Copies of this chain bind each other. A is one copy, B any other.
Amino acid sequence: MTSVNTLHPELAVPGALMAAEVAEQPAVWQRLLDEGRAQFAAAAARIRDYDPRFVLFVARGTSDHAALYAKYLTEIVHGLPAGLVSPSTMTAYGTRPNLGGTLMIGVSQSGGSPDLVRSLQVAREQGALTVAVTNSAGSPLAEAAELDLDVLAGPERAVAATKSYTAQLLALYLLSDHVAGGDGSAAEVLPALGRALLEHDGAVAELAQRYRFASRMVTTARGYSYPTAREAALKLMETSYLSAQAFSGADLLHGPLAMIDPQVPVLAVVGEGIGGQAMQQVLPRLAEQGADVFCVGTPQAVRGASAGVALPSGVAEALSPILEILPFQQLARHLALARGGNPDAPRGLRKVTETR
């Protein structure tokens, strides 16, 4: 008798694929910084020439969290109003909006979901400048867009997206920075900081034991870090089958706070930037509810929490989401394993999801 899958030996160790792809992220970022710059400079030139009045994003799942991050960049760095498109309005409802002056960016790992492809096709017909950000050059989404950007993460085999997510974040940052006239050099610190942060993997594995029997979690953050809270919740749902809900710290106070008690752990991102400072209004309310708080943030915030992982200091707030998600990816994997699951093969999921 053998338990080794000889066709796919990596599947013999549950979570091995996800572990490898989580660990690979600093190298992926380095590749994007070394080899990917030219595409951002070229796309940025076209975008500056088009001079958009509004920016729309279309994405689903993990990629939607990268799009949400880019929405913050658009609003804060570029001072442009931005929105996340509901794909169904252009597919199921057949809307044909006037999109002159609009930049529409589709974000997708596979570039294959028909509703996203259709949304970009319609947007292009309706006058938008269209950009595809994918991990799959030549995919239908890349073909549908006028400009296509490759996040160069390499083939992603784990169902739970990890390296493609941070590569999307970095690609969107680099695009934004080039449009703003920069060269993306502030991001060059990331690979080394990412490698150092990933060294906490053993500590995160121990912390994961704390949540072995939790059935519900809440994740929360504000500003640039809010997409981190969303993505952390999705990773936990996908791999550990927890109910994990993400709220902006402000929205949490508008209702969902009621469901938080000592049995519902809260995962909070409290960095040193403006978003982290805005969380200072939220933390005392969580304490009043008796919440157990797992904090990824400043050393001070981690000391005030029940558990957590400290982030490096001195990183530009706009870049911090690329680092912040790493401990949550590790937590999701270790928690799935602790609960007897296989984070590489979540029940009910396929790697490429096709929605219409």
Contacts and interface: CB of A to CB of B under 8 A. Distances in A.
Contacts of A254: 60-62, 353, 355
A8 to B, nearest CB: 20
Contacts of A83: 54, 56, 71, 81-84
Contacts of A234: 255-256
Interface string A195-227: 000000000000000000001101000110010
Contacts of A238: 255-256, 258-259
Contacts of A82: 83
Task: Count identical subunits in the complex.
Answer: 2
Interface string A112-136: 0001000000000000000000000
A264 B86 CA distance: 26
A2 B76 CA distance: 57
Given A84-B83, A250-B87, A241 B261 contact: yes
Residue from A56, A62, A253, A281 with most neighbouring chain B CB atoms (10 Å): A253
A320 interface: no
Contact of A347 (B71, B223, B258, B346): B258
A96 interface: yes
A306 interface: no
A258 B86 contact: no
Contacts of A181: none
Secondary structure of the A contact surface, majority rule: mixed
A168 B211 CA distance: 40
A356 interface: yes
Interface string A76-96: 100111111111111011011
18 contacts: A60-B254, A72-B89, A75-B93, A75-B95, A76-B89, A76-B95, A79-B96, A84-B84, A86-B248, A89-B223, A92-B274, A92-B277, A92-B278, A238-B258, A242-B259, A250-B355, A255-B353, A278-B356
Q: Which 9 A-B pairs have the closest CB atoms?
A: A83-B83, A61-B254, A250-B355, A258-B346, A243-B243, A216-B243, A75-B89, A79-B97, A241-B259
Interface of A: 53-54, 56, 60-62, 64, 71-72, 75-76, 79-90, 92-93, 95-99, 101-102, 115, 160, 215-216, 218, 222-223, 226, 234, 237-239, 241-243, 245, 248, 250-251, 253-261, 264, 274-275, 277-278, 281, 285, 288-289, 346-349, 353, 355-356
